Amino acid sequence: MTPPLRVLVHGGGIGGLTLATALARRGHQVDVAELRDELEVLGVGIIQPSNALHVMREIGVLDACLAAGFEWEVLTVCDPAGATLARIPQPRMGDAPSNNGIPRPALAGVLSAAATEAGASLRFSATITGLDDDGEGVDVTLSDGHRGRYDLVVGFDGIGSPLRRRLYGDTYTPEYTGFANWRVTLPRLPEVQGVVMSAGNLKAKALLTPITDELMYLGSVFAEAEGFRPDREHAHEQLAERLAGFGGPIAEALAQVTDPSAVVYSRISQVTVEEPWHVGRVVLAGDAAHASTPHLAQGAAMAVEDALVLARSLDDAEDVATALAAWEERRRPRAMWVQALSRAVLKQETGTPTTPEEDELLKVGIPGAAHVLVQPY
């Protein structure tokens, strides 16, 4: 299609800002509606695997991401005592690096600056309060009083997506997996030159991820009751109890955790929208359509792939309907494969029974998945 299209991106997270940048750089008119009053995010880090970094290169921010983060090439696997079991080189997509660890606030800053510089408009404290798709366009009212007519509305508004509820009601609500993620940012240990993952017969996994020259984060996954929340004054002690069986670098990192307020706790849930991800000129993407567990470190990567492929699909199609159909045909199999394998890995690592279908997926393994995911998307 010949630009400019008018596009509303609902959600200013990683996927939404990537799409805003990709579309604005192509000459489209893009508004981003973000519910928060600023792009402040929890101060933990994120892994950008090579396929995500390939997208960052495509939208012109790879160098900024690498400068703000910590590039790494080798995954180190340890037993619970800390003894090294394997050092696994990680594959690359094209000439993008294998991996980059980066603080989430730094990544938000890079992407918001890119979207703004490309010409997108960011509207904070704004969410959709009215939406009418008449087939030729979508009339939208935002909570900040803005009214506009758009050729396309894209929901990159997360696992709790308000836009998904508008389209499908409560049909697709987040499913709690029974497990939760504990994370805390710490000074980087010198030996942490890439992800150090420790797992074994403790039915738990812990990892250290470098995110800058100075910082890393300690992450761990445990089975938790759905209603459980850490004690605000004793969260660090609760984390220490759960990681008591680990030695080596995990124990060394844990000894630095003395502030309960530094511990970030998040339940691990997933969402699978079985029906089409687009209805008319409104489309769901990223976690709004296919949130997965973090066990392949591919959640944000799937979102930015969604964004870039959607921009390219709009380049190639004659109309919005054709573009959305082509986009979903390309994206659904890959995103569903990541979701299914991520859940299977979670179950395997925590001693939870797996299905025959999951056993087949697990033959690929995490190293094999990395090689699959550096193939063209």
Q: Structure tokens of 168?
A: 């499908």
What is the dihedral angle through the alpha carbons of 213, 215, 221, 227, rounded to the nearest 10 degrees?
-150
- Classify domain 6-40+105-173+273-373 at the CATH topology level: FAD/NAD(P)-binding domain (3.50.50)
Distance CA 187, CA 316 (A): 46
3-state secondary structure 197-217: EEECCCCCEEEEEECCCCEEE
| Contact by Cβ (8 Å): 38, 21 | no
pTM: 0.96
Distance CA 72, CA 193 (A): 7
pLDDT in tens, the chain (377 residues): 777 999 999 999 999 999 999 999 999 999 999 999 887 666 689 999 999 999 999 999 999 999 999 999 999 999 999 999 999 999 999 999 999 999 999 999 999 999 999 999 999 999 999 999 999 999 999 999 999 999 999 999 999 999 999 999 999 999 999 999 999 999 999 999 999 999 876 677 899 999 999 999 999 998 899 999 999 999 999 999 999 989 999 999 999 999 999 999 999 999 999 999 999 999 999 999 999 999 999 999 999 999 999 999 999 999 999 999 999 999 999 999 999 999 999 888 888 899 999 999 999 988 899 999 999 88
